[in-house]
Amino acid sequence: MFLELEHLTMKFGGLVAVDDISFSVNKGEIHGLIGPNGSGKTTIFNMLSGYYKPTSGKIVFEGKNITGLPAHKVTQAGFARTFQNLRLFKSMTVLENVMVSMGHLAKTQLLNVMFNPIAAQKENDLFTEKAMKLLDLLDIRQYAHNLAVSLPYGTQRRVEIARALATEPKILLLDEPAAGLNEVETNELAEILTTIRQSGITIFLVEHDMKLVMGSCHEITVIDYGKKIAEGDCDCVRSDPRVIEAYLGKEEDL
């Protein structure tokens, strides 16, 4: 199994944000995680990426137990993530933001990059070249030298994805990447997701945009109040009465 969540539970004081959830994510697929607001999706991401230590339960990635590893170790193990609320480095250009993510892969010794101008320049050149390729992939090359936080919302979302990809992950966790995007941008995002998946990276997607989820995901897990209420492929989930009641039903009311 590629990624397995086993009986994951996260309590905040008296609140059980994630309640005994188990499921697995298959390699090479786009796996959706949906549920109403406050159902615990971001909390699951935070546990997976090393931000929260689960109250109980296990996370097994490629056969290794990674539960409770610090965030930078989880990234080194092959996880990358974006944030629901944009969190780009505010003093950096788009290029620099992306280059930060490459540091953990660097081959050059630390003392060498600190004191040897030639080695440092070589590393910077290499990183720049790799980063530019990612900017091309997300079609944001023209903003390379702009301050990332000065860009429009949709563009910043792309920078977040480029920055996550720059860690060279095996699995990419996207927390509501379509939030705040218009329809054209959302369609472009769907294409980007396909390209990323085709390059061999598994995607784990939290998203409220049902069209995007149903159009892109191979497998969907639905949670409500921290509990898993359904899983399966799109059709299966769409027709599940509990899902309709908890989630899709609400959408229709709106």
Partner 1 sequence: MKKNPKTLKLILFSIAGIALLIFPLLAKNSYQVHILNLVGIYMMLSLGLNIAMGYAGQMNLAMGALWAVGAYTAGLLNQRLGLSLWLTLPCAIVAGGLVGGFVGLPALKVRAHYLSIVTIGLNEVINIILVNETKLTGGVDGISKIAKPALFGFKINTEQRYYYLILIAVIATFLISRQILSGRVGRNFRAIRDDYKTAPAMGVNAGFYKLLAFIISGCFAGAAGALYAHLNAYISPDIFEHKTTLFIMTLTMVGGLGNLNGSLIGSFILPVLQEYLRAIQDWQYVVYGLAIMVVVLFVPGGLMQVFTLLKPYVTMLTSRFNKLKSGTTVGEDSNVS
DSSP 8-class letter at 244: I
Residue 54 has which token pair? Answer: 């689960």
Site string for Mg ion, 97-116 (x = CB under 5 A): --------------------
Nearer to partner 1, 123 or 176 (CB): 123
11-30 residues near ligand ATP, rule: CB under 6 A: 12, 15, 17
In this complex, which beta carbon is closest to partner 1, that of residue 164 or of residue 203? 164
Residues 83-112 that bind ligand ATP (CB under 6 A): 84
What part of residues 27-86 is at the interface with ligand ATP (CB under 6 A)? 35, 37-43, 84
Give one DSSP letter per residue of 116-129, joined into a string: -HHHHHHHHHHHHH
d(CA 108, CA 32): 38
How many residues in the shown chain lie near ligand ATP by CB under 6 A?
12
Sheet containing 30-34: give its strands across: 79-81, 171-175, 202-206, 30-34, 219-224, 227-232
Record the tokens describing residue 142, joined without a space. Answer: 């023209």
Q: Which is nearer to Mg ion, 41 or 228 (CB)?
A: 41
Q: How far is the CB of 35 from ligand ATP (least distance, A)?
A: 6
3-state secondary structure of 90: coil
Q: Which stretch binds Mg ion (CB under 5 A): 39-47, 191-199, 222-230, 244-252?
A: 39-47
Closest CA relative to residue 42, chosen from 17, 67, 5: 17
Tell me which H or E stretch contains 49. none
Q: Which is nearer to partner 1, 155 or 186 (CB)?
A: 155
The site for Mg ion, by CB under 5 A, has a size of 3
